[in-house]
Structure 1
Amino acid sequence: MAQNPARRAALTDAAIDVLAAEGARGLTFRAVDQRAGVPAGTSSNYFANRDELLHQAARRIHHRLTPDPVVLAELLRAPRDRALVAALMRDLLRRVCADRDGYLAMLELRLEATRRPEVRAELSGTMRAELESNIAYHLDEGFPGDRETVVLIYLAMTGLIMEHLTLPDVLGGTEPAELVEQLVARLVPAG
């Protein structure tokens, strides 16, 4: 397998674009090569098979959606209260909206996981580890609430983001940031 990290990242980003635009069924090595603007056969030199490409796409999406350390450090100067949790969720919403294709690709991966047990196992492990990491971070940083609070926020934000990116008219014109404020106020205990 080829080892150029920049080329691998570019190919993985192209795979994410293909997933977002064409769905999992449209994800082929040829489609990735075309999207990346590289010679035919390039992506097959970097990924052993389609499953590896799917797995690497999921990992890359998480990397792309990681908070900016400078923005995060600035946010974390505030007291550990509901307002900070809301600010962190608004930042998450901003990052997801800025990388709409990344999130849509993740939705495609989730759908593919319903059809293919090996994808389900990989993606479930990745998503479970991410959720557990978020729970540990929330608790270690002293944010209000407990494990269940984080799980409920995760579920609420996942639904809000999905609606906003796929069928925004369902929300009836309500701004997603406003809904973030409401869900944090209802799910996160005061103090």
Structure 2
Amino acid sequence: MSKPTDRRTVLADAAIAVLARHGVRGLTHRAVDRAAGLPSGTTSAYYRTRRALLTALVRRLVALDQAELQEAGQRTPVPRHPEDLVAGIAALSAQRLTGEGRERSLARYACAIESVHHPELREILTPRENTAREAVRAFLTARGVAEADADARTITLLTCVDGLVFDRLVNGGTVSPTDIRALVAGALRPEPPADARR
């Protein structure tokens, strides 16, 4: 991915890096100026308040995540077998635990916590449709999951994977294919008959 030249985007990317490395308390206009290699006062000229800076950061984070998921979905055909889906999710999880992906993951979870107190951030962070999500849903319906149920199972599966990524960020380690295999098996489990649920 080429480096952005637009000043607002450069500052938002620097803010993501600062948040990932220093946490919410470390996210200051001066710290972003330093991280971007720009003169003191540049960030505050573009984003006058901390709230404005945080909102720009979250918008940029979501745009980068969406681009990553769109690309992943377009690069990989709809999985035909459970192991194909396991491999695809494992690759994305590894991407989110290393390098730039790890930095974005740390920033994303910090923003998620912050959004508890700032509903406008929560609205920006709400998961959106993308080709990767569509591929999971298409896989489930192709394997016999009712269309009405496939969306809920897709959300549950991806939320659980997100939880595994969070756990490995905090505690170390990787998301193993075995972890993902169990989640995929759960998403494919047949719904019990209505009378069995009573």
- What TM-score do you get using the length of structure 2 for normalisation? 0.74
Query: In structure 2, what residue type is equivalent to 1:182?
Result: A
Determine helix, strand or coil for the equivalent of 1:97.
Answer: coil
Residue 43 of structure 1: aligned partner = 43
CA-to-aligned-CA distance 1:66-97 (integer Å, 9 cap, x gap): 33766533411653x53443233223213312
Residue 17 of structure 2: aligned partner = 17
Residue 53 of structure 1: aligned partner = 53
CA distance in 1, matches of 2:91, 2:23: 27
Q: CA deviation at 1:136?
A: 10
Instruction: Tell me the percent identity.
Output: 28
CA distance in 1, matches of 2:181, 2:69: 21
Q: CA deviation at 1:34?
A: 1.0
Q: 1:143 aligns with which of 136, 139, 142?
A: 139
Residue 164 of structure 1: aligned partner = 168
Query: In structure 2, what residue type is equivalent to 1:124?
Result: R
Q: 2:121 aligns with which of 123, 130, 137?
A: 123
Report matched runs for 1:67-86 at 5 Å. 67=68, 71-76=72-77, 78-79=79-80, 81-86=81-86
CA distance in 2, matches of 1:124, 1:43: 23
CA distance in 2, matches of 1:10, 1:33: 10
Unmatched tracts of structure 2, length 5 or more: 191-198
CA-to-aligned-CA distance 1:133-185 (integer Å, 9 cap, x gap): 2599538962214122012112211210001111126xxxx753331222112
Residue 33 of structure 2: aligned partner = 33
Unmatched tracts of structure 1, length 5 or more: none
Task: Select the structure of larger CA radius of gyration.
Answer: 2
CA-to-aligned-CA distance 1:25-84 (integer Å, 9 cap, x gap): 1111011001111100101122232112112212222233333766533411653x5344
Determine helix, strand or coil for the equivalent of 2:96.
Answer: helix
Q: 2:111 aligns with which of 104, 109, 115?
A: 109
Alignment: residue pair count? 176
Which is worse superposed, 140-149 or 104-113? 140-149
CA distance in 2, matches of 1:57, 1:32: 11
Residue 184 of structure 1: aligned partner = 184
Residue 195 of structure 2: aligned partner = none
CA RMSD of aligned residues (A): 2.9
CA distance in 1, matches of 2:134, 2:27: 36
Determine helix, strand or coil for the equivalent of 1:126.
Answer: helix
CA-to-aligned-CA distance 1:113-151 (integer Å, 9 cap, x gap): 23x3xx2x1232123242xx2599538962214122012
Whether the 8 Å CA contact 2:18–2:26 is kept in 1: the answer is: yes
